[in-house]
Amino acid sequence: MRAPLVAAAWLAFAGQARAAPADPLAAELEKAKAEGFSMKRKLVVPAPWGGRLATYVFSNDAEDFDRLRTWHVKGGKAALVYYEASSSQRIEPDAVHAQGRLPDLYGDGSRALAYTVSGAGRTQLRLVRFLRGGAVPERTPLPGGVLQDLDGDGRPEVLSRSTPLGRFLTIECGGFFSMAQEAQRTTIYELRDGKLSPASLSHARWFDGHIAQLEGELAGLDPRNTRRYGDYLSAALSLYFDFAEKGLPRQGWSRFSELFRPSSGDPRPVADCIFQVRGDLRRRLNVPEQWE
């Protein structure tokens, strides 16, 4: 009887030896669950320097905000290398991660994470590079940012839309009031050699297409009939910003002045208001007085 008992004991020991090691992230996932978070998205990829990078987005529906964490997992240990510090916001990984990858967006051998944080009516794009030494978050603000391959070379550019004049630009004179909420400046950046670099001047063709789109919108707007002065001003200012990004701010201001001027049939108070608003915008945009 002794031999079968010894054999059984040995088989039990061997089975324990072959058992898979505990997942080093298990405790972190349980902790998130205990705090009321559920897993929303997971990206786990091999790290070029060994081990794997595990990015998790957790959602807390009761509190209406998300949490993002990235660990480097190697040798049975999980080291937190990055977390999103913002609170009370929703987090969404960019579409570039649709296949579950962390691509080399910067062209330097690193792995990159791109995601948006949304809250209080605003959206920001965040970019993070993961290197052997840890995480390097991008410091350049990228409001309204998205990744798009604008020139068809297979590498995405960053397209960011800011509101230099504020989110709630108002037009007000006398009894007239309107608001231009969509006066956006589009800026293009390239990701090359480990850097995020301004590149609007290299993408004139994209701006030409966007200018044509804005001209079409303006042609379909008659603010004197629809009272949509805010929409009209937003499109006209966005057109000016496009010219400025192309390196042609004077041409842009000239076109803006053509679009935003009183007509011969406007009452004197309306004409005075338009000139007042245009003069205020000239000052706020630092447009030289000699530009018409």
Last residue of a domain, one of 85, 104, 139: 139
Task: Please say if the pLDDT value at position 222 is more than 90.
Answer: no
Positive or negative, the Cα torsion across 255, 256, 259, 265? negative
Residue 31 domain-assigned (yes or no): yes
What range defines the domain where residue 99 resides?
A: 21-139
- Note the pLDDT tens digit of each residue in 6-40: 444 444 444 444 545 678 999 999 999 999 999 99
Residue 14 domain-assigned (yes or no): no
Last residue of a domain, one of 73, 106, 139: 139
- 52 shares its domain with 122: yes
The three-state secondary structure class of 143 is: strand
- pTM for the model stands at 0.85
Residue 205 domain-assigned (yes or no): yes
- 132 shares its domain with 148: no
pLDDT confidence of residue 3: 52
- 128 shares its domain with 160: no
Residue 2 domain-assigned (yes or no): no
- 184 shares its domain with 271: yes
Cβ within 8 Å of residue 90, ≥6 positions away: 64, 65, 66, 117, 118, 119
pLDDT confidence of residue 34: 93
Q: Which of these, 242, 253, 229, 227, lies nearest to 181 by C-alpha position?
A: 229
Task: Please say if the pLDDT value at position 65 is more than 70.
Answer: yes
Q: Which of these, 129, 95, 101, 136, lies nearest to 115 by C-alpha position?
A: 95
- 134 shares its domain with 159: no
Mean pLDDT, the chain, integer: 87
Total domains in the chain come to: 2
pLDDT confidence of residue 13: 43
Task: Please say if the pLDDT value at position 104 is more than 60.
Answer: yes
- 134 shares its domain with 149: no
- Note the pLDDT tens digit of each residue in 185-214: 999 999 999 999 999 999 999 999 999 999
- The CA distance from 15 to 278, in Å, is 80
Residue 200 domain-assigned (yes or no): yes
- 282 shares its domain with 205: yes
- 33 shares its domain with 160: no
- 78 shares its domain with 169: no
- 270 shares its domain with 203: yes
- 191 shares its domain with 227: yes
Residue 108 domain-assigned (yes or no): yes
- Note the pLDDT tens digit of each residue in 46-57: 999 999 999 999
